[in-house]
Amino acid sequence: QLSDQQKVSESPLSQFRGVYLPPALHPLNKTLVKGGKWKDVDRTQEKRRSFLHDFCKKYNSKKKLQTHLVHLVSRIYVEDRHKVLYCEVPKAGCSNWKRVLMVLNGLAGSAQNISHDDVHYGKHLRKLDSYDLKGIYTRLNMYTKTIFVRDPMERLVSAFRDKFEHPNSYYHPVFGKAIIKKYRHNANEEALKTGSGVKFKEFIQYLLDSHRPVGMDIHWEQVSKLCYPCLINYDFIGKFETLEEDANYFLQLVGAPAELKFPKFKDRHSSDERTSAEVVRQYLKELSKEERQLTYDFYYLDYLMFNYTSP
C-alpha cells in the first residue's frame, strides 16, 4: 500500500535508515466538522499547511536525513480509537494534549481530573515507536497527524522558568550543577552542591556550547529535531498562540465527543505570569547582542518552518 518512495529497500538495516516520507499535502477530511464557525481557523490551517509543505519541498530537495524510522517517531503519541497521532512539543500545551488523548482513548472521563504526574509518569499512552514496522507505517499513512508549536524564544524562556526558577529534583542536580560548575566563575559551595539558582545567561551559554557539560533535553530541543516536520507529513499544525481554537477545531476534525473541549488551565506554577513576548524581552536583555543572535540561529529552522517572525 505504500508509495514507491516510502517502500524500503531489501537490506535489513536500510528499513530503519534513510527513510524519506515525501511531504505530500493530503486534503484534510472535514466531513465531521459541524457549524460554520470554524471557517477562519480552517483558512489559517490551510495557510500553515501549504507554507510548511512549500518550505519542506525546497529544504528536502537538498538533503535526505539519514536517520532511523523508530527514532523519527519516538515523540509521537498514538490514540487508536480516533486514529490520531500527536507529536509532543514540550512547553506548547503538551500536558493538556496528553490529557485530551487519555479522554479520547477512554482512559479518563474528563481532562479536568487528570493530575500532572498521571499525565507525565502514568505510562497510559502508547508512543508510535512501540509498534512494529508495519504498525508504524500503517498509522503514519492512515491516521491524522498533528503537531502543536510555539514561538521558539517563548518556548525556550518558558522551559527555563519552569525547570530552573522553581524547585526541581531532576533539573537542578543534573543540569544546574553542571551549568554552574562550567559557566559560573567563583561559584560558591552551596550552588555547586545543589545546582539551584542557574541564571538565564548561564543557561544560554550551555545551550550554545558545542561541548555541553550535559546533553540536550526535550524541553529546549528544536521542534525540527523532536518531530521532523519535513519527513513526517503532519496533517494539522496548531500553534500555542491560538491553542484553544486550533485544538477544538482539530477535535471536531477527528470526531471527538461534542462535550470534550481542550482544557484551559495552566498545568503547573499556575500563579506565575504566562511567558509572553514581554516576559521574553526581559530575559533577552540579560544576553549580549551576539548571544541573542546565536540563540536565534540555534532555532532558525523552527522560525522558518512555522513562519514565526524573528525577534
pLDDT digit of tens for each residue in the chain (311 aa)? 444 444 443 333 344 444 545 556 788 889 888 878 899 999 999 999 999 999 988 877 555 556 688 889 999 999 999 999 999 999 999 999 999 999 999 877 777 777 666 776 666 799 999 999 999 999 999 999 999 999 999 999 999 999 999 999 999 999 999 999 999 999 999 999 999 999 999 999 999 999 999 999 999 999 999 999 988 999 999 999 999 999 999 999 999 998 999 988 766 656 678 889 999 999 999 999 999 999 999 999 999 999 999 88
Question: CB–CB of 100/94 below 8 Å?
Answer: no
The CA-atom distances, in angstroms, between 70 and each of 35, 93, 140, 167, 223 are: 39, 24, 12, 34, 17
Contact 136, 68 (CB under 8 A): no
Query: Which residue, among 43, 72, 63, has the nearest Cα to 147 in the 3D structure?
Result: 72
pTM exceeds 0.85 for this model: yes
**Torsion angle of alpha carbons 200, 205, 206, 209, nearest 10°?**
160
